[in-house]
A and B are shown apart, each in its own frame.
Chain A
Amino acid sequence: MARAYKSEPRNPETAKPEIDRRKFLKGAAVGAAALAAVPAAVSAEPQPVEPKRVVPPAMSPAAETEVPSITEVLIAERTGSDFMVDVIKSLGFEYVCANPGSSFRGIHESIINYGGNKSPEFITCCHEESSIAMAHGYYKIEGKPLLVLAHGTVGVQHAAMAMYNAYCDRVPVYVILGNIIDVTQRAPGVEWFHSVQDAAAMVRDFTKWDDLPISLEHFAESAMRAYRVAMTPPTLPVVLVADGTLQEDPISPDVKIRIPKLTTEMPPVGDTGSVNEVAKLLVAAENPCIIADRTARTSAGVACLVDLAEALQCAVVDQVGRMNFPTRHPLNQSDRARAAVAEADVILALDVADVYGITHTYRDQVERTSRSSMKSTAKLITISSDDLFIKANYQDFQRYNEAEIAIAADSEATLPSLTEAVKRLSTDDRKRAYQDRGVRLKAAHMQALERSKDAAAFAWDASPISTARMCMELWGQIQNEDWSLVGATTFVSKWPQRLWNFDKHYQYIGGAGGYGIGYNAPAATGAALANRKHGRLTVNIQCDGDMMFAPGILWTAAHHKIPVLHVMHNNRAYHQEVMQVQIMADRHSRGIQNCSTGTTITGPDINYAKLAESMGVYGEGPITDPKDLGPALKRAIEVVKRGEPALVDVVTQPR
């Protein structure tokens, strides 16, 4: 169906006679309504409808010989985008994040007007990378995706890195891209720059599925399929392209197009035979070690892992891709991970992103070398959904690991049957051995905790403030709240995991996945959006370099009243890169003093408190004296508890 605007014919004498447009559209709409199955409700059964016979408009000799008048359709009370919003609502999206774009103006307007700007509510982002990263963080708290809209060209280009992060982190972001595929429907200029033959092409290497629906029924079906595909482990981003013509073409107010029922798939579970083999190895082992990473997809995963670990009284090393295992649990050996792996005779890796990395040591010198840190006789077992969907171009799959048993399944879903098998196979003799092992591991855990406390005491009163001091001052303010730490802790040497008490799934959500910098601030804001309705105190330890990629996310939090506390880890540099360049300078024995060139964020020093204030966010700092930190955090937390974002700028040591 052609769009409602049209150009004047160039030569009236040679112009073909035009059919009365208004009558044509009405007739076509009636025909479409007649042909469509009913009803629109998801649970109703479709009823066949007899198609009505469409009567063509009457013609006359005058109509055949004279130049007819061109009647323009200027009002179209319902368009395809309204139906698209019906589909979107049926999928249960709470929010849609977007930076506005004309290629999806139809859906945008339908969301805010036809859809009442509710479920989904439109969240305005200042950069598409922020939109995607918000969806990334939101999912890891809420367990369901958030919708993102973007241009099919410049928008998805901006969004691409954040989509790659989500892909590497196994997070399903649901993206709809606007595009105008029909060349005759594009206005000159901008719409051509913002149109593309294959909008999903540039992100296809790191998305799970994509489609370009060419009818509204097609859109509905593909929308359901995209959701189902995205949410089946391995959970990954998906893309739908919403053609501009399909969005904006009128549809009859009475049109009924069926929205299929959404069905989701059960996650893949390890087969019984393999699970039993794994259980036998674990039961017989003297020093089994479980390594968790993205194991706990949901809060149930934490309980499942605790159940298995306690059944075996075995070591657990948490790589904290998610909050998988309570930090103060006596079996948690994460603070002595290398030793735990080196001692193990059986290692069980559960949805671990880099199995090779945790079982090998690596040396980055002129000659790069690695060696196994496992015992030569140790057996490696992997349970992971990663191999169920693996692509070749981007190398996020890490080095090949030589597992004795590799089960391609979701580890959280497989844990119950594995634990049941372990319990069934554990004799009284084995249980006595487990008990002794548990006592040893508890002692090792407590010693590691004391060592971490002693390590934190060094540079305790220093300025710039040590990362240990910053993290513990924050802990002092939040430990009695229902808190959620939503920023990655890698760059603060994981002090929170070493010294805080994590015991709930939402208390930590891991990092970017693909280590694309610029993830943290928007992901923290997305996670805070999810936490808001649960009344949780969301805190984020925020690196300065990461914030500067798209600081407009601060405005988004202020505008939408998203309560989040950003505690700046302001070490005034891209410190990883300072160290990388320094490695080169040391290796060449030259220019070590120059390594701050191109890597530091000083001269001038950015004032993050003022940056925050400029965007309507409460800001304090820069704080350089550790004694001032506790009171500043307390004031900021009061703001966050009132439902608004806040930022405390802390000048810190590098790591």
Chain B
Amino acid sequence: MKWAGLFLLAAALFALPIARAQQASDAPPAGNAENGKKLFMSDGCYECHGRQGQGAAQTGAARIGPPQLSFEGFQSYVRKPSNQMPPYASKALPDQDLADIYAYLKSIPMPPKGKDIPLLNK
């Protein structure tokens, strides 16, 4: 019982900083969009996602420019993708680089709807 109590206390103490960290990262970390654009190219993200993150049916890569996920979701998926995407561990792609890439993708404006582009309605 004594050990169980200590365990519970340790778990609670451990959870506290995580809760604080989660609260702090509700807003994405500050990122440099200009650097993010360079990293988006040099780290090969554009290969499957396209240079503007528009996605591609042939690669199965989702549209990420602008992003459809929060930064946490984005980060989580990049580290541990559930489908065909290869994983980017923090050793290969540090958190700050990822934040810069996210900033770049957020800077990409939403396009008009397809029905508003004449060439798409011929």
- Is the C-beta of A47 less than 8 angstroms from some C-beta in chain B? no
Q: Is the CB of A457 within 8 A of B119?
A: no
Q: Closest CB of chain A to B121's CB: distance in Å?
A: 7
- Is the C-beta of B55 less than 8 angstroms from some C-beta in chain A? yes
**Contacts A457-B113, A457-B117; A476 near B122 (Cβ below 8 A):** yes
Q: Closest CB of chain B to A69's CB: distance in Å?
A: 74
CB-CB < 8 A to A460: which residues of B?
A: 111, 117
CB-CB < 8 A to A467: which residues of B?
A: 56
CB-CB < 8 A to A458: which residues of B?
A: 50, 52-55, 63, 65, 111
**Contacts A472-B119, A586-B86; A454 near B50 (Cβ below 8 A):** no
Output the nearest chain B residue to A490 by Cβ-Cβ distance.
B58
Which residues B10-58 have CB closer than 8 A to chain A?
Answer: 42-44, 46-48, 50-58
Q: Closest CB of chain B to A51's CB: distance in Å?
A: 68
Q: Given B44, B50, B89, B111, which contacts A589 in the complex, CB threshold below 8 Å?
A: B89
Q: Is the CB of B120 within 8 A of A583?
A: no
Alpha-carbon separation in the docked complex, A455 to B60 (Å): 13
Q: Closest CB of chain B to A502's CB: distance in Å?
A: 14
Alpha-carbon separation in the docked complex, A459 to B113 (Å): 12
Alpha-carbon separation in the docked complex, A454 to B112 (Å): 8
CB-CB < 8 A to A592: which residues of B?
A: 42-44, 88, 92-93
Alpha-carbon separation in the docked complex, A464 to B52 (Å): 10
- Is the C-beta of A484 less than 8 angstroms from some C-beta in chain B? no
Q: Is the CB of A583 within 8 A of B86?
A: yes
Instruction: Produce 1/0 per residue, A559-579, CB < 8 A to B.
Output: 000000000000000010011
Q: Is the CB of B43 within 8 A of A593?
A: yes
CB-CB < 8 A to A533: which residues of B?
A: none
CB-CB < 8 A to A473: which residues of B?
A: 119
- Is the C-beta of A456 less than 8 angstroms from some C-beta in chain B? yes
A-B contact count (CB 8 A): 121
Which residues A441-494 have CB closer than 8 A to chain B?
Answer: 450, 452-460, 462, 464, 466-467, 472-473, 475-476, 479, 490-494
Output the nearest chain A residue to B51 by Cβ-Cβ distance.
A653
**Contacts A583-B86, A653-B50; A578 near B115 (Cβ below 8 A):** no
Q: Chain A at the B interface: mostly helix, strand, loop or mixed?
A: helix
- Is the C-beta of A514 less than 8 angstroms from some C-beta in chain B? no
Alpha-carbon separation in the docked complex, A40 to B46 (Å): 65
Alpha-carbon separation in the docked complex, A571 to B46 (Å): 12
Q: How large is the interface on A (under 10, 10 to 19, 20 to 34, 35 or more residues)?
A: 35 or more
Q: Is the CB of A457 within 8 A of B114?
A: yes
Output the nearest chain A residue to B85 by Cβ-Cβ distance.
A586
Q: Closest CB of chain B to A354's CB: distance in Å?
A: 16
Which residues B83-122 have CB closer than 8 A to chain A?
Answer: 83-84, 86-89, 91-93, 111-115, 117, 119-122
CB-CB < 8 A to A595: which residues of B?
A: 44
Q: Is the CB of B56 within 8 A of A655?
A: yes
Which of A457, A493, A587 is the most central at the interface, judged by chain B CB atoms within 10 Å of its CB?
Answer: A457
Q: Closest CB of chain A to B92's CB: distance in Å?
A: 4
Q: Is the CB of B92 within 8 A of A363?
A: no
**Contacts A476-B119, A590-B92; A493 near B63 (Cβ below 8 A):** no
Q: Closest CB of chain A to B77's CB: distance in Å?
A: 13
Binding site for B on A (CB under 8 A): 363-365, 450, 452-460, 462, 464, 466-467, 472-473, 475-476, 479, 490-494, 498-499, 575, 578-579, 582-583, 585-587, 589-590, 592-593, 595, 653-655
Q: 18 extra interchain contacts, Cβ-Cβ under 8 A, other than A462-B51, A466-B50, A592-B92? A: A450-B115, A453-B113, A453-B117, A453-B120, A455-B114, A456-B117, A457-B112, A457-B113, A458-B50, A458-B65, A459-B52, A476-B119, A579-B59, A582-B44, A586-B87, A586-B92, A589-B91, A655-B50
Pairs across A and B, CB under 8 Å, 5 listed = A363-B83, A457-B112, A472-B122, A587-B87, A589-B92
